[in-house]
Amino acid sequence: SQTRIAVIVGSLRKDSFNQKLALALAHLAPSDFTFEHLRIDDLPLYNQDDDGNQAPSVKRLKTEIAAAQGLLFVTPEYNRSLPGVLKNAIDHASRPYGQSAWAGKPAGVLGISVGAIGTALAQQHLRNVLAYLDVPTLGQPEVFLQAKDGLFDDKGHIGSEGTKKFLQSWMDKYAAWIKSHAAA
Ligand code: FNR
């Protein structure tokens, strides 16, 4: 049977490195894994007044999360934290109180930035939020990537051999970890 992964990319930019990284990662996954990219650009700004009457885009997001066996967060770092658009999506799907879509879904957290620390602080802040939401995150290996020419080839695969080997080791660990959660 298929293992469904819900992918949440923290950038809405058309040529997003993080979007490219998320797509490239899927090529490294076992063949029984499917990756569904969740749309977050059409969500309203979160307003607690709407908890009893969530927008169709919010209900869709929650349904897609519920259908997944695992989560994959691939995010840039904005001003040393996670982007507001990502936090907005997380807040939406955490509500109404007691009906969070996130609880218990195992997650991988990765990111790529133009800066040398490769989203380390954004990931740390995101892990903090996910811990509160009862989302277990894969601890190691950590993936902090810096965008460099040649990282992606013209097919959108990882172009650098060293990085590809490293990301393959990440994916192997992630896939086994997701399966162990699904079996539990
Ligand atoms: C950035 N960028 C950035 N980079 C970083 O390493 N640490 C940071 O704190 C920030 N802060 C930041 C704030 C804002 C508002 C923007 C627009 C950008 C640069 C960031 O790494 C770069 O724009 C990436 O290309 C963003 O990822 P995507 O959109 O390519 O996935």
Mean pLDDT to the nearest integer, 64-76? 98
- Mind listing the pLDDT tens digit for each residue in 112-166? 999 999 999 999 999 999 999 999 999 999 999 999 999 999 999 999 999 999 9
Angle among Cα 96, 97, 98 to the nearest 5 degrees reads: 110
User: What is the pLDDT of the chain when averaged over all its residues?
Assistant: 97
| Residue-level pLDDT at 121 | 98
Residue 170 contacts residue 110 (beta carbons within 8 Å):
yes
Half-sphere exposure (Cβ direction) of 97: Cα atoms closer than 13 Å: 2
Q: Which two tokens mark 182?
A: 């699904």
Distance 16 CA to ligand 1 centre (A): 10
Residue nearest to atom 21 of ligand 1 (CA): 113
Which residue CA neighbors atom 26 of ligand 1 most closely?
76
Percentage with pLDDT > 90 across the chain: 98
Q: Which amino acid is at 19?
A: Q
Q: pLDDT tens digits for 108-123? A: 999 999 999 999 999 9
The string over 78-96, giving b where at least 16 C-beta atoms fall within 10 Å of a residue's C-beta and e elsewhere, is beeebbebbbebbbbbbbe
Beta strands in 40-135 (DSSP E): 70-74, 107-113
Instruction: Give the whole-number percent of the chain exceeding pLDDT 70.
Output: 100
Tokens of 9: 């990319």
Q: How confident is the model at residue 177 (pLDDT cuts 50, 70, 90)?
A: very high
pLDDT at 183 over 90: no
Give the chain's domain count. Answer: 1
Q: Which atom of ligand 1 is nearest to the CA of 12?
A: 29
Quote the pLDDT of residue 132.
98
Q: The tokens 């080997």 sit on which residue?
A: 165
75 CB under 6 A from ligand 1? Answer: no
For residue 169, the SS3 value is: helix
Cα–Cα distance between 108 and 71 in angstroms, integer? 6
Report how far ligand 1's centroid is from the alpha carbon of 39 (Å).
20
Residues 6+ apart with CB under 8 A from 183: none
pLDDT single digits (tens) 26-47:
999 999 999 999 999 999 999 9
By residue range, what is the domain housing residue 134? 3-183
Take residue 72 and report the two structure tokens written for it: 């994959």
114 lines ligand 1 (CB under 6 A): yes
d(CA 75, CA 184): 28
**CA gap 79, 135 in Å, rounded:** 24
Q: Tell me the CATH number at 69.
A: 3.40.50.360
Phi, psi for 52 (deg, rounded to 5)? -80, -5
When pLDDT is cut at 50, 70 and 90, the band that residue 54 belongs to is: very high
On the question of pLDDT at 184 being above 80, the answer is no
